[in-house]
Amino acid sequence: MGVVAALVRSTFLVNAVYAESAQEYGLTPQQGQLLCVLMARPYGMGELGAVLGLAKSSLTGLVDRSVRNGLVRREPDPQDARAVRVALTPHGDGLAEEFYAETCRRIDKLPVGLSAAERATLAGLLGRVVLDNEVPVVFLEPDEGASTARKN
């Protein structure tokens, strides 16, 4: 299998696991992404749209639905009185922690047939692709721990 097919098919595989995990937690995949992004810190709407790759109207709808579900809240931006930031509510924070841990567990099982050395090589190569393409941090490193990241 070539690199293009392997990358595209692996994306479908990860997305399927992500969607399955989200469904079990009563989330849409987009809400799961939103929660995972917000685990690190609150974001302004413009910044959040850029990280998630969503147009303003799509992001507004996602945030509105997530506010109605008690997952996130809008709060004033301390840097700009005209702007708001989106932050996790206590309920959203707990759900994010559980969803994140379960999603990490499931994704970690995908390369089960690889040796420790092969897993390290895979992580190194994929990490280079991600960094070279300046992909925003949309999912924390499992060993960083979500609670630790929020305290920083």
Predicted confidence (pLDDT) per residue in 123-140, tens digit: 999 999 999 998 877 777
pLDDT tens sequence across 26-78? 999 999 999 999 998 999 998 999 888 889 899 999 999 999 999 999 998 88
Residue 149: predicted pLDDT: 44
pLDDT tens sequence across 64-122? 999 999 999 999 888 888 888 999 999 999 999 999 999 999 999 999 999 999 999 99
Domain extent, residue 76, equals 3-151
C-alpha–C-alpha distance, residues 40 and 130, integer Å: 18
83 CB-contact burial (10 Å; exposed 0-12 / middle 13-18 / buried 19+):
middle
C-alpha–C-alpha distance, residues 138 and 30, integer Å: 12
Instruction: Using the predicted structure, report yes or no on whether residue 15 has a pLDDT greater than 60.
Output: yes
pTM value?
Answer: 0.82
Cβ within 8 Å of residue 28, ≥6 positions away: 22
Contact 30, 19 (CB under 8 A): no
Query: Could you tell me the CATH number of the domain that includes residue 74?
Result: 1.10.10.10
For the chain, what is the domain count? 1
C-alpha–C-alpha distance, residues 101 and 36, integer Å: 10
For CA atoms 98, 84, 63, 45, the dihedral sign is negative
Number of Cβ within 10 Å of residue 120's Cβ equals 11
Contact 95, 71 (CB under 8 A): yes
With H, G, I as helix, E, B as strand and everything else as coil, classify residue 79. Answer: coil
